[in-house]
Structure 1
């Protein structure tokens, strides 16, 4: 009886069959092509009849030696053949997994030979493309997921967040949500993640755009005003220890006292965005105006112009430029309107729901709006 081995030495070649008795002839040959054919012939034979015992170790050494001598197209074909193999030599799989990404991808994606320790080494030593493939592996263990989260590489984190079968702990999901504040690409996959909880959804809700807010709101029944108020009050409470010693000051002297307080706090480094939120919470609109002008480097007149505008857009940009979280702005503007006879108006789009903006961009947008409204050149 003659045993034949299926061969596919190159991706662009036609398949051929080879009698197993000719393997010895190929082994004796010094031809590069013959060595490539021998490598793939042995691989195909082992896939059909997995080796065991002593012969397994011998074949492993032979395959590893041959794989180090062949061209990339053959290594790629070898990786595809061994991706689902249970018998493949560990050293050979590691070699292929650390090869260039087109060769490594099949084993990185599917090989059960790769254990957690191997995958962690790849995360530490290989390219970002290799790391992404590791993060996409089905049923990725919690240990490897934790390593990915600890390294905090944006592209790998995004791949992990998109992997619905990865074993990510509750703390791991929490850390991914925290990372999503600076990594926008994480937000969409986290919105759909099966391990996202109500609490984490409310946190994520603070810095996503309108479309993702709608998706989170539909899934977790979250309302804008509830989240905005929660963020707003949390910020206020975190800076409640800063003194506002104005209760005993006469109205005529209050404005001057507020200016001095703002100047003192700014000089000591205590004047922060959260202080302004507290000022509004304590119904001290003028203190808010003085503080916003001082922090942003604006004139009091510019800030008051934003307060009296037909839309809250200019005020939103001014607040964003000094670090007031956009998730708190909705609640903030509602209290400001109560203190300021309904102004600024609510005409136009709610800019703070569109997405994050840098402080520098917000400052430029604010100045452009208030100076444009005043008829000045930008």
Structure 2
């Protein structure tokens, strides 16, 4: 077989299987004693000259040693996709290959079990694309085991990281925030904060939804009022919200920076208006709440 492949290459001919060639060799190897067959299978698993049709056929024999053939460099996409379709047992071994094309990766993500997909994620030889990370993040909504390897994957996209922030716990969230500057999510599925300290802590962690929920609870204003106030260009509504929530003016500069980062640059403020808006902290909580209610409740 090796000499045939070499001769065809030297003649500039395609490597093509001869009629009956694959079936005959498969039968010969399958009939060998275990030790002899294993030696042949191990050599074929590494051979870049092997006949692809033979390798694909041998992957289907019942010998345990045939599993090594799934790492063969000559297997083509259609061979791998066919093996995935025919045998779920092949999936985890295919996921360990040093190279997989996007169609094969997509097939694994769509059809393989959680353990196999985790193996795929832990195989950092593979170049996963943005579409693969989107699909993996979709699966991570219901398959918790995928969240950690996804979070730590070196090629994780910013879009996928943003979606993961909605799903993961504090440790993985901290890891994501450390990797992606200015990352934030708009739909955290977590318990709303109950006091000012928790509200500010959640803002610092990039959880803008929880910050707005916290302000609503602290001020007694509807979330719709809070959300509307925070969409304004002016910083006046933000200061009124903080005053109504009983949050000290000393935290204003840091809060403003965080809110702008998470809120598309709103509110905008210049030095001329800074002294004026700071003066609004002199209002007591009830006065600030009344002003907001009068402006945004209708």
TM range (shorter): 0.5 to 0.7
| Equivalent-residue separation in structure 2 for 1:91 and 1:327 (angstroms) | 56
Residues 1:332 and 1:103: Cα distance change in structure 2 (over 3 Å)? farther
| Equivalent-residue separation in structure 2 for 1:220 and 1:101 (angstroms) | 47
Q: Which aligned pairs between 1:166-177 and structure 2 lie closer than 5 A?
A: 166-177=126-137
Residues 1:331 and 1:152: Cα distance change in structure 2 (over 3 Å)? farther
Aligned pairs, number: 207
Asked if structure 2 preserves the Cα contact closer than 8 Å seen for 1:206 and 1:327, the reply is: no
Q: Which aligned pairs between 1:221-300 and structure 2 lie closer than 5 A?
A: 221-222=181-182, 226-227=184-185, 230-231=186-187
Q: Which aligned pairs between 1:172-251 and structure 2 lie closer than 5 A?
A: 172-222=132-182, 226-227=184-185, 230-231=186-187
Q: Which aligned pairs between 1:123-162 and structure 2 lie closer than 5 A?
A: 123-128=84-89, 130-151=90-111, 153-162=113-122
* 2:78 pairs with one of 84, 97, 117: 117
- TM-score after normalising by structure 1: 0.46
| Equivalent-residue separation in structure 2 for 1:330 and 1:66 (angstroms) | 70
Residues 1:215 and 1:104: Cα distance change in structure 2 (over 3 Å)? farther
**2:32 is the counterpart of 1:70:** yes
CA RMSD of aligned residues (A): 3.9
Stretches (4+) displaced over 4 A: 46-51, 56-62, 326-331
| Equivalent-residue separation in structure 2 for 1:328 and 1:105 (angstroms) | 49
Q: Which residue of 1 aligns with 2:218?
A: 337
Asked if structure 2 preserves the Cα contact closer than 8 Å seen for 1:60 and 1:88, the reply is: no
Please tell me whether Structure 1 or Structure 2 has the larger radius of gyration of its CA atoms. Answer: 1
1:52 Cα deviation (Å)? 3.7
Greater mean alpha carbon deviation, residues 61-70 or residues 168-177: 61-70
SS class of match (2:137): helix
| Equivalent-residue separation in structure 2 for 1:98 and 1:331 (angstroms) | 58
Residues 1:184 and 1:100: Cα distance change in structure 2 (over 3 Å)? farther
Q: Which residue of 2 aligns with 1:260?
A: none
Residues 1:212 and 1:168: Cα distance change in structure 2 (over 3 Å)? same
| Equivalent-residue separation in structure 2 for 1:327 and 1:74 (angstroms) | 64
| Equivalent-residue separation in structure 2 for 1:181 and 1:151 (angstroms) | 16
| Equivalent-residue separation in structure 2 for 1:175 and 1:133 (angstroms) | 21
| Equivalent-residue separation in structure 1 for 2:49 and 2:210 (angstroms) | 60
Q: Which residue of 2 aligns with 1:322?
A: none
Residues 1:61 and 1:97: Cα distance change in structure 2 (over 3 Å)? closer
- TM-score after normalising by structure 2: 0.56
SS class of match (1:231): coil
Q: Which residue of 2 aligns with 1:303?
A: none
Q: Which residue of 1 aligns with 2:65?
A: 103
1:176 Cα deviation (Å)? 0.9
